[in-house]
Amino acid sequence: MKTPARNGRIVPDGRRRFLKGCLGTAGAAVAATVSSPAAARDTYERPAEALGLLYDATLCIGCKACVAACKQANDNPPEFSTADRLWDTPLDTSGYTFNIIKMYRSGTMATKDDEENGYAFMKTSCMHCADPSCVSACPVTAMTKDATTGIVAYDAEACVGCRYCVVACPFGIPKYQYDSPTGKIGKCELCRHRYKDGHYSACAEVCPTGATLYGRTSDLLAEAKRRLALTPGSVTTYPRGNLSGGPDQSYEGKVAKYKQHVYGETEYGGTQVLKLSAVDFEKVGMPYLSPKSSASTSETIQHTLYGGLLMPFAVLGAMTYVARRNVHHEDDAPPPAQPGKEES
Amino acid sequence: MSALHHARPAPVGGSLFNATTLVCGVLMAVAATIIVVRLFFGLSSTTNVNDGYSWGIWVVVDVFIGSALACGGFCMALLVYIFNKGKYHPLVRPALLGSLFGYTLAGAAITFDLGRWWNFWHIFWPGYFNVNSVMFEVAACITLYIIVMWIEFSPVFLEKLGLQDARRKLEKVLFFFIALGVVLPMMHQASLGTMLVVMGGQVHPLWQTPIQPLLYLLSAIMLGYGVILFESCVAASAYRRHIELSLLNPMAKVMLGIIAVFLVVRLADVAVRGALPEAFRANHVALTFWAENACLLATFVLIGTVEARRNPARLFLAGITVMLSGILLRLNGFLIAFDTGPGWSYFPSVPELLVTIGIFAAEVFGYIYITRRFPVLPREETYAQPAHS
């Protein structure tokens, strides 16, 4: 079947035209994909000078000085979970609580750091991922990762409040202030606003046992591996405060029975906050994550489909070509009725 | 093939005041009131969203499901203008109208769910937007598509206002907007699936796959046809018009083809990734997975044969099963099979539900208003309407 001759030439019928369009589109799409092999995006690594924390759960005594210091440093209001409302008693991190110590409890809770009939502590705060999901998810660059320090920072002025970061984070870290008409996202930014005054992360500054240490992640990772290599029960030196500079505040203590795993060394391409524990990490709320970040998978898909807008434009070109031939104006003079025309 | 051989669209006419529009009006007023409360007192004043489930039904239902259910327009354009099946032309305008409202209201819905909505323009500002973000692609693409759809639909208004010159000028370039109106929804409907990828292990393995964009695109297309089946049956029944069976029958067959492709891709993907054992566990997640896919199989049972597709009741039910499956696919990925860790739960609050209902009421009201006053539905020739205009 032929459609009417237009401008003196024969227009092929719809099916052939469509197939031509399809071939053109597919060709362009293949060309776009093949010509940009850089589309596949690897998991990012930590910057060389990345800053972070080392939290050693076996040293933590659960005093929550870090929780209070964090509140003060970030000018956050107290949150209550008890009837008397006397003390700041948040049960989890929130839009107003960026750091919290949680407790693992088992059976009689007789001994610290025992999985059975024991208890243990775990710090919950931003891990400052090498390849953060929140940064990849944020549509308006309100979440950024500093190229030098690697600190994952939040800019409320840029934020639209879509909360994709809240949903995307595997650690459940960015939190939103739902009770406010102008709510912001709240999360640990490693006290980057205190550096200019010579301070560092408040949680590490106040930690009495050095359970939370501040420093370069490379130094913290070396320290973590040193501890894992020690014999449980032996005595060693534990630094406190700032590992990568600052006065020596170290003390001697007994080595615990660590799980032989530095949490954060490889998870999602590595995090800048590292953790040691004597209790299985999953049991204390740290999910096991593959070394490949989900941000890299997501961005590989996006760059393959939309990189340089090549594929959308190729498809748009093909569609425009096909649509131009198939769209008829209803106001044009009607063509003479054609024999054999399909009726509706 | 030209549309000239079809009945030209004409306003249905009739009163705008009836029980349906009255109910819609009340529901819209209730929703508007709740939205005002939300804007002054924050999200927790009206919704149950929390840090474990930060996206409630205002995002997942109003935007993700609402926009997918609004794919009828793009699916008809695909059939008529790209595959050159001109005979379906009478279905284009009503389908486009449904899409126009679905998307415009989805766009409105996301605005009051945004925690910092006054910054919304950052999505389009080069200094702010992040091209790596799936959300950026979705937001930018949906906004652009809403504008394109109003342009695509504007001949209807120009026709009504008697601006034939403007209409003719617009129609000279309309092919480009039609092409855009096909490409843009393909992009963001696919990306709505990609949104799940960055969430990693929080999304159950039955829904966490890198081929998510393909699944969501296929799902959006079959939903588009499903919605047209549903809408055509409802419009025919409500306005006491005849059902365009000669068009719905072959269109339903196209839909079945896409459903078949979807099912093959879906099950092959689950099997290849080794997630199939998850589907045979005794839990609610496995159950909802089977419900999602059983809806699609039910469609084949309902309208698998040409005879069955001549039965309006079966077409109507098939439209519903396809819509249910698409709704479940999205609810499952983003809410039911989304697990952010122990201690979190979410079920929408009553005000939250009322806003979502109000939004759908606004769509119904808009559809009634436009079809009664503007030339959208094909002029009825056999079933003469009372004289008007």
The three-state DSSP-derived secondary structure of B341-359 is: CCCCCCCCCHHHHHHHHHH
Predicted pLDDT at B14: 82
| Among B342, B366, B384, residue at a domain's last position | B342
Place of tokens 């855009």: B180
DSSP for A62-87 reads ---HHHHHHHHHTTPPP---STT--S
Q: How confident is the model at residue B87 (pLDDT cuts 50, 70, 90)?
A: confident
Task: Tell me, yes or no, whether B155 lies in a domain.
Answer: yes
Residue B337 sits at the chain A interface (C-beta within 8 Å): no
Task: Tell me, yes or no, whether B350 lies in a domain.
Answer: no
Predicted pLDDT at B4: 44
Mean pLDDT of B32-53: 95
Give the single-character DSSP code of B116.
T
List the one residue out of B257, B255, B332 whose CA is nearest residue B293: B332
The DSSP bridge pattern shows strands A111-112 and A143-145 to be: unpaired
Q: How confident is the model at residue B11 (pLDDT cuts 50, 70, 90)?
A: confident
Specify whether B239 is located in the same domain as B214: yes
In three-state secondary structure terms, A93 is: coil
Specify whether B104 is located in the same domain as B153: yes
In degrees, rounded to 5, the angle at the alpha carbon of residue B356 between the alpha carbons of residues B350 and B357 is 85
Among A25-39, A46-60, B112-126, B193-207, name the one with the lowest average pLDDT: A25-39
Predicted pLDDT at B93: 86
Predicted pLDDT at A20: 53
The beta-carbon neighbor of B183 closest among A141, A289, A316 is: A316
The DSSP bridge pattern shows strands A273-276 and A251-254 to be: unpaired
Which one is predicted more confidently, B157 or A129?
A: A129
Predicted pLDDT at A247: 87
Predicted pLDDT at B161: 86
Give the single-character DSSP code of B231.
H
Specify whether B38 is located in the same domain as B106: no
Residue B137 sits at the chain A interface (C-beta within 8 Å): yes
Residues 6+ apart with CB under 8 A from A46: A130, A150, A217, A270, A272
- pLDDT tens, B313-356? 999 999 999 999 999 999 999 999 999 988 899 999 999 999 99
Question: Measured between CA atoms, how close is B334 to chain A, in angstroms?
Answer: 9
Specify whether B290 is located in the same domain as B271: yes
Q: Residues of B with CB below 8 A from A287's CB?
A: 201, 341
The CATH number covering residue B184 comes to 1.20.1630.10
Specify whether B183 is located in the same domain as B289: yes
Residues 6+ apart with CB under 8 A from A325: A11, A17, B84
ipTM of the complex as predicted: 0.90
The beta-carbon neighbor of A139 closest among B3, B80, B135 is: B135
Q: Do B194 and A298 touch (CB under 8 A)?
A: yes
Specify whether B22 is located in the same domain as B150: no
The beta-carbon neighbor of A139 closest among B1, B2, B136 is: B136
Q: Residues of A with CB below 8 A from B112's CB?
A: none
Q: Do A322 and B81 touch (CB under 8 A)?
A: yes
Distance CA A256, CA B202 (A): 32
- A337, pLDDT greater than 80: no
Share of chain A above pLDDT 90, in %: 75
In three-state secondary structure terms, A91 is: coil
- pLDDT tens, B201-227? 999 999 999 999 999 999 999 999 999
Specify whether B200 is located in the same domain as B183: yes
Structure tokens at A48: 């060389």
CB atoms within 10 A of CB B203: 24
List the one residue out of B276, B199, B285, B209 whose CA is nearest residue A289: B199
Which one is predicted more confidently, A4 or B195?
A: B195
Task: Tell me, yes or no, whether B371 lies in a domain.
Answer: no
Among A76-85, A330-339, B108-117, B322-331, name the one with the lowest average pLDDT: A330-339
Q: Do A164 and B83 touch (CB under 8 A)?
A: no
Specify whether B21 is located in the same domain as B133: no
The beta-carbon neighbor of A320 closest among B6, B43, B176 is: B176
Q: Do B4 and A329 touch (CB under 8 A)?
A: no
Q: How confident is the model at residue B162 (pLDDT cuts 50, 70, 90)?
A: confident
- A91, pLDDT greater than 70: yes
In three-state secondary structure terms, B211 is: coil
Structure tokens at A30: 């293949």
- A50, pLDDT greater than 70: yes
Contact status, residue B388 vs residue B14, Cβ threshold 8 Å: yes
| Among B326, B342, B358, residue at a domain's last position | B342
The beta-carbon neighbor of B247 closest among A160, A298, A344 is: A344
DSSP for B277-314 reads GGGGSSSHHHHHHHHHHHHHHHHHHHH-STTGGG-HHH
- A46, pLDDT greater than 70: yes
Task: Tell me, yes or no, whether B281 lies in a domain.
Answer: yes
Residue B80 sits at the chain A interface (C-beta within 8 Å): yes
Task: Tell me, yes or no, whether B5 lies in a domain.
Answer: no
- B235, pLDDT greater than 90: no
Mean pLDDT of B63-77: 93
Residue B134 sits at the chain A interface (C-beta within 8 Å): yes
- B134, pLDDT greater than 50: yes
Mean pLDDT of B102-116: 92
**Burial of B185 per CB tally in 10 Å (0-12, 13-18, 19+):** buried
Q: Residues of A with CB below 8 A from B135's CB?
A: 137-139, 162, 164
**Burial of A19 per CB tally in 10 Å (0-12, 13-18, 19+):** exposed
Question: Over chain A, what is the mean pLDDT?
Answer: 87
Structure tokens at A158: 């840029």
Task: Tell me, yes or no, whether B353 lies in a domain.
Answer: no
Residues 6+ apart with CB under 8 A from B78: B182, B221
CB atoms within 10 A of CB A235: 11
Task: Tell me, yes or no, whether B360 lies in a domain.
Answer: no
Specify whether B308 is located in the same domain as B182: yes
Specify whether B36 is located in the same domain as B114: no
Question: Measured between CA atoms, how close is B17 to chain A, in angstroms?
Answer: 32
What's the CA dihedral at B333, B123, A180, A167 to 10 degrees?
20
Specify whether B298 is located in the same domain as B316: yes
Specify whether B157 is located in the same domain as B83: yes
- Phi, psi for A120 (deg, rounded to 5): -155, 160
Number of structural domains in chain B: 2
Contact status, residue B81 vs residue A326, Cβ threshold 8 Å: yes
Q: How confident is the model at residue B238 (pLDDT cuts 50, 70, 90)?
A: confident
Share of chain B above pLDDT 70, in %: 96
In three-state secondary structure terms, A293 is: coil
DSSP for A239-274 reads --SBTTSS----EEEEPP---S--BTSSGGG-BSEE
- A343, pLDDT greater than 50: no
The pTM (predicted TM-score) of the whole model is 0.88
Q: How confident is the model at residue A330 (pLDDT cuts 50, 70, 90)?
A: low
The beta-carbon neighbor of B84 closest among A14, A185, A343 is: A14
Mean pLDDT of A85-110: 95
- A110, pLDDT greater than 60: yes
Q: Do B116 and A327 touch (CB under 8 A)?
A: no
In three-state secondary structure terms, B170 is: helix
- pLDDT tens, A301-310? 999 998 888 8
In three-state secondary structure terms, A103 is: strand
Distance in angstroms between the alpha carbons of the first and the last residue of chain A: 17
Residue B62 sits at the chain A interface (C-beta within 8 Å): no
Distance CA B197, CA B210 (A): 7
Give the domain extent around B137: 47-342
Distance CA A205, CA A213 (A): 8
